[in-house]
Amino acid sequence: MKEERHDAVVVGAGPAGSVTAKTAAEHGLDVLLIERNQEIGVPVKCAEGVSKAIEKFVPVDKRCICAEVKGANIYGPDGTKVVMQGGEMEEVGYVLERRIFDKTLASEAARAGAAVRVKTEAYGIIEVNGYAKGVYARSVEGDTRIYANVVIGADGVESRVGRWMGINTQLLPSNISVCAEFLMCDVELNKDYSEFFLGNEVAPKGYAWVFPKGGDCANVGLGIGGDVSGEKHRAINYLRAFVRNKFPDGKIVAEMYGAVPLSGPLNESAADGLILVGDAARQVNALTGGGILYAIQAGEIAGDVIVKASQENNFSKRRLMEYESRWRSTFEKRLETGFKAKEFFFGLSDKDLNTLARSLAGIKITELSTSALLLELVKRNPKMLLGLAKILL
């Protein structure tokens, strides 16, 4: 078996992995970024919506943006519409082309000095005296022992890298959103708004979405709770029913499937010689399913901490926990609020959801964020949402 050595190996070339690799490489570390798929950004497993705040962290090439939206329309089960429109939009603003966006981030990592390899899959961890010291990987050229001072797991939902080092990354079905999505063309849609549809008939323990992709095209998808998914009740079944009703004459040009962690973040995202970033660390807003911005922020922090650890030649869990404390102080509160709100809303009936939607009908909410929406709902439904109010305090 071949052997090679690097300062750091990053497993997974999504936004979290690529930003980690870039941040570490531009400070002089020898970084290897590996991706099991043959093309970075493919297959797409994402609705592709993101806040414009992303530009604070990474440059966004115009080629990566399919559409710029002014706000969001949210529909209750009975069709009642709630309009959210304003300058601050937490979860939407741009609809990306992830195939291009992810490649751009990986290219930036390469330009910073990281080595990037596709079609290279990690299948085990190299462990020495309790420390992660690299990974075993397979590619078309054969198997390789890739030694590294630190391993970064950016390998997505239920991270295998984390599990190999004893971190419990498995999720209960109730903490997973199972998603299906079509890229559709020849559809009539509101090109200036992302749209969300609620209701147990549409998407139990989840929601459906329509995100404009430019012209007459859109991402049309939905996610349902993993604990309600079953025979003839799978996400794809609900999506087909939604499309028949919403876009009966639309044309499906691509299909995408995936899963999103809705558990709130892991209790620990670092171990001796190991850091987990992005979906691998469950850094996702459980109410909305959005995680791109959090992944990028976590990647920047992880890369910075890896550089410091390398300068000190200290890759202990205690040293790497700086990453843990910094990302938690940056955005953990938002993730916790999203998780608690998700637990609350998933317990509501369609009747309850209709009542809430009607309470906001005709009112424009000028800040499109989880907290702004929740606070407005509590203000208008204090008795019904007493439990939610306690969450927000």
Question: Is 105 among the domain residues?
Answer: yes
Domain containing residue 166: CATH number: 3.50.50.60
Q: Indicate the residue type of 199.
A: G
In a domain, 210, yes or no: no
Q: Is the pLDDT of residue 346 over 70?
A: yes
Q: Strand ranges (DSSP E) for 155-243?
A: 176-185, 193-197, 207-214, 217-225
Q: In degrees to the nearest 10, what's the CA dihedral of 120, 122, 128, 130?
A: 150
End-to-end CA distance of the chain: 56
Region of 123 (left: φ > 0; alpha: ψ -120 to 50; beta: rest) is alpha
pLDDT for residue 103: 96
For 26, list phi and psi in degrees, rounded to 5: -70, -10
Q: Are 176 and 157 in contact (CB under 8 A)?
A: yes
- Inform me whether the pLDDT recorded for 136 exceeds 90: yes
Task: Note the pLDDT tens digit of each residue in 256-286.
Answer: 999 999 999 999 999 999 999 999 999 999 9
Decide: 239 and 116 in contact? Cβ < 8 Å. no
Q: Which of 134, 141, 152 is nearest to 117 (CA)?
A: 141
* Residue 254 covered by a domain: no
Q: Which amino acid is at 260?
A: V
Q: Does residue 72 form part of some domain?
A: no
Residue that has been written with the tokens 């300062």 in this structure: 7
Average pLDDT, integer, range 240-265: 95
* pLDDT, tens digit (0-9, with 9 covering 90-100), for 66-102: 999 988 899 999 999 988 876 555 556 899 999 999 9
Structure tokens at 78: 């009975």
Residue 107 resides in a domain: yes
Asked if residue 219 is part of any domain, the answer here is no
Instruction: Say how far apart CA 27 and CA 310 lie, in whole Å.
Output: 11
- pLDDT above 90 as % of the chain: 75
pLDDT tens-digit readout, 350-378 = 999 999 999 988 777 766 666 777 778 88
pLDDT score of 340: 86
Which residue range forms the structural domain that includes residue 163?
Answer: 2-45+98-171+264-332
* Residue 19 placed within a domain: yes
pLDDT on residue 89:
56
Distance of alpha carbon 140 from alpha carbon 132, whole angstroms? 25
Residue carrying the six token digits 């009607």: 358
Other CB atoms within 10 Å distance of the CB of residue 299: 33
Among 93-97, 309-313, 333-337, the range with the most confident prediction by mean pLDDT is 309-313
Of 9-13, 257-261, 275-279, 339-343, least confident by mean pLDDT is 339-343
Percent of the chain's residues with pLDDT above 70: 95
pLDDT confidence tier of residue 299, bands split at 50, 70 and 90: very high
Asked whether residue 363 is assigned to any structural domain, the reply reads no
| 391, pLDDT greater than 80 | no
User: Within 10 Å of residue 245's Cβ, how many Cβ atoms?
Assistant: 11
Average pLDDT in the chain: 92
- Flag the least confident range among 46-55, 142-151, 224-233, 306-315: 46-55
Would you place residue 347 in the very low, low, confident or very high pLDDT band (cuts 50, 70, 90)?
confident
Tell me how many domains the chain contains: 1
Q: What is the pTM of this model?
A: 0.93
